[in-house]
Homo-oligomer: A and B are copies of this chain.
Amino acid sequence: MTAVKTATFRFSTIQRVRYAETDNMGVAYHANYLIWFEVGRTELIRQLGLAYKDLEFAGLFLPVIEVHCEYLKAVRYDDEVRIDSFLVEQKGLRLKIGYELYVGDTLSARGFTIHAFTDRSGRPTRPLKAFVEAVDAVLE
């Protein structure tokens, strides 16, 4: 897993397509793209100087409340998929993160996730100050 800063607030992570992720059509099954989004998001947050597991340990959870994905070109077993993740916006208690998946120079898929800020029991909560400051720093 390699994380490369490709723009002010955009980060790239590489994941090889696992055999487990392929399907009967001989390509990666579409739901797995959301898992790759998760891998990209985890590394994006780590690059902000915060590990998501530490946010949870401190009582801040970021459940996905909306997801969208467009599939442009199939990816296959053993392909190296580059996951570009970027902060789109934080508005009130909502965080939007964007994703682009590439194999070589080809854009294979793009999408976004929207996250709420909640406590462990799922109740809306204010994000940690450290998190807001880290996000602000890259969004400005």
By a beta-carbon cutoff of 8 Å, the part of chain A in contact with chain B is 1, 14-16, 18-20, 22-27, 29-32, 34-35, 38-39, 42, 51-53, 56, 61, 63-71, 74, 76-78, 122
Q: Using Cβ atoms and an 8 Å threshold, which residues of chain B touch A22? A: 23-24
| Nearest residue, chain B, Cβ from A80 | B1
Q: Using Cβ atoms and an 8 Å threshold, which residues of chain B touch A34? A: 30-31, 34
By the criterion CB–CB under 8 Å, are B64 and A71 in contact? Answer: yes
| Nearest residue, chain B, Cβ from A37 | B31
Q: Which of B29, B63, B67, B78 sits near A20, CB closer than 8 Å?
A: B29
Instruction: Name, among A24, A32, A63, the residue most crowded by chain B CB atoms within 10 Å (CB to CB).
Output: A24
